[in-house]
Amino acid sequence: MHQRNTYLLEQASALLDELDIGEAAQPEHHSCELLGTGIEGLLRGELRQRWNEWPPESTTDGSTVYLCFRSARHTISVIGLTHIDFTSNTFPFRVELTRSTPQEWTATVFIGQVDKVTGGPPRLTGAVIIPEHSDAAGQVEATLLAGRHQTPIDWTLAMTLTLKSRDTPSRHVVEQRVRNRIVEYLELASSFEAQLEYQRNAPIAYVPSELINQWEDWVHTDPRTVDWYPDVYSSDEIAAMKRFHAAWEATADSIPNPLPPIEQVQLLPEWNNLRRAAEQALSVFLIRGTMSNDHVELIDRPDIHEALHSSSNPATKPLLLLDIDGVLSPFGGGPPPGFKRETVGSYEVIWSPQHRDWLLQLSQSFQLVWATTWEHSANEAMSPILQLGQLSVIEFDRGTGDTWKLPSVQEFVGNRPAAWIDDDLYLDAHEWARQRDAPTLLIRTSSSVGLTKAHVDQLQTFADHSRSTRPTP
């Protein structure tokens, strides 16, 4: 129930608030990615039980979302491909999530190109879904490219399910649930016996692949480069996650592909290194155990609470360093839906009214700074149209590292807490961020997508939880 609310209903509700009818979100949108995870769980669970044509010996193994948009006033439509039986074979799905009441939703599940002999899901190789623009009435259009053939998708109704929504939990409670899932993962990864038992109880599952992939289910971003919730994770737990992630990454990069069965993979020294790293991380998490799935639990972090809540420690806003090209003005493939192309003085700019609203919201928590090759031209061209006023500007001398802006940024931010959003951030920038004493958040955007609501939420969370420090003269 908790996972269904987090991955399906909360995300669909957020997209209903964000999108107009007929408007699509990018597949990389945080809510669309989480919907893909939730839908795969729906297919693996309820569909296998309720659709008579589902082959009883088969299971699903991950979904990819290609089209995610608001098709009606109360409906979010999601189209994608789901892997079947831990192979490269996939089948198309379409799920309509319709909110009937604040607490009740209907999930309508369709399967595309059903097998004409068995009536069950197809097993397509090398298939890709080509999203098409919806029409004004919000009708879904998508075609299937398999091999050299592009054909319309023939949808078959497989299941209709009523989903009951709990009251939407706070982000704090959601993070506590994620922490609990991390503990469960570490329990499995740290025990060879538990892995073998899991394989015996679920023979259709491929446990080695699941153990590699499941870490990313709960830790979507490298924990070494993000600011974790200090009121949910202790400082020791954050450090333990960073150490385990490094071990997980090393294992994933070095083990054979495809992976051998669990009995053989456990003989590999790399797998034993992963087990030991999980065991060490788990020992840290078990000091506090699991947290409530339903209500907020605060942990004793005097260093954080004093900085966040003490009236004797006046706040200084953290810096938010803003790039333009690839962040506020996406490029490559033309302007995305919702963007405008306008001429301001001698400048032609691509901008989004949604970005204007988000930046005005973020300006309540951050001191906004231009960190763009436009330099002072940003105040002439972008600030007026975004209603930002005149912002501070970082003047750049081209550096020699991969992240060439880094030397100028280092000099500008000093010891201030800072968030930096850019489409051109590399390992040297992340290493600098990791070593700073002041809270630091780096967000690398997709240059063709730019700033998203998920990024704004991440920035707001960082601002809420970063300790305020005064700049060093």
CATH code for the domain of 423: 3.40.50
The answer to whether residue 471 is domain-embedded is no
The answer to whether residue 470 is domain-embedded is no
In a shared domain, residues 266 and 314? no
In a shared domain, residues 69 and 186? no
In a shared domain, residues 319 and 384? yes
Tokens encoding 325: 């090209």
* pLDDT tens-digit series, residues 91-118: 999 999 999 877 789 999 999 999 999 9
Q: Name residue, tokens 């032609």.
A: 348
Share the mean pLDDT of the chain.
83
In a shared domain, residues 447 and 319? yes
The answer to whether residue 86 is domain-embedded is yes
Closest CA to 375 of 325, 419, 340, 440: 325
By three-state DSSP, how is residue 356 classified? helix
Domain of 116, in residue numbers: 2-164
Report strand pairing: 141-146 vs 155-164: unpaired
Q: Which of 300, 322, 342 is the last residue of a domain?
A: 300
Q: Which of 124, 144, 164 is the last residue of a domain?
A: 164
The answer to whether residue 288 is domain-embedded is yes
CA 146/CA 194 separation, integer angstroms: 39
The answer to whether residue 472 is domain-embedded is no
Q: Could you give the number of structural domains in the chain?
A: 3
CA 405/CA 54 separation, integer angstroms: 54
In a shared domain, residues 84 and 207? no
By three-state DSSP, how is residue 250 classified? helix
| Residue 443: per-residue pLDDT | 92
**Pair 85, 61: CB distance under 8 Å:** yes
| Residue 201: per-residue pLDDT | 84
pLDDT per 10-residue tile (average), the chain, 473 residues: 64 87 86 86 85 86 88 92 85 94 88 92 92 58 82 93 69 79 92 91 85 82 64 84 92 90 94 93 88 68 38 59 92 75 74 91 91 88 86 82 89 91 90 90 88 90 66 38
Task: Spell 320-346 as b/e; 16+ CB within 10 A means b.
Answer: bbbbbbbbbbbeeeebeeebeeeeeee
In a shared domain, residues 387 and 279? no
Angstrom distances, CA of residue 190 to CA of 59, 163, 183, 186, 262: 25, 35, 10, 6, 14
In a shared domain, residues 151 and 52? yes
Closest CA to 291 of 181, 169, 167: 181
In a shared domain, residues 460 and 319? yes
In a shared domain, residues 65 and 159? yes
In a shared domain, residues 198 and 217? yes
Q: Name residue, tokens 């963007």.
A: 339
> Which pTM value belongs to this model?
0.43
By three-state DSSP, how is residue 362 classified? helix
DSSP structure string for 369-425: EE-STTTTHHHHHHHHHHT--SPEEPPP---SSSSTTHHHHHHHHTTS-EEEEES--
| Residue 298: per-residue pLDDT | 56
In a shared domain, residues 88 and 186? no
* pLDDT tens-digit series, residues 371-390: 998 888 888 888 888 888 88
The answer to whether residue 395 is domain-embedded is yes
In a shared domain, residues 327 and 253? no
Determine the length of the chain.
473
* CB neighbourhood size of 106 (10 A): 15
Q: Which of 164, 181, 215 is the last residue of a domain?
A: 164
Instruction: Count Cβ atoms within 10 A of the Cβ of residue 228 and give its class: 0-12 exposed, 13-18 middle, 19 or more buried.
Output: buried
The answer to whether residue 473 is domain-embedded is no
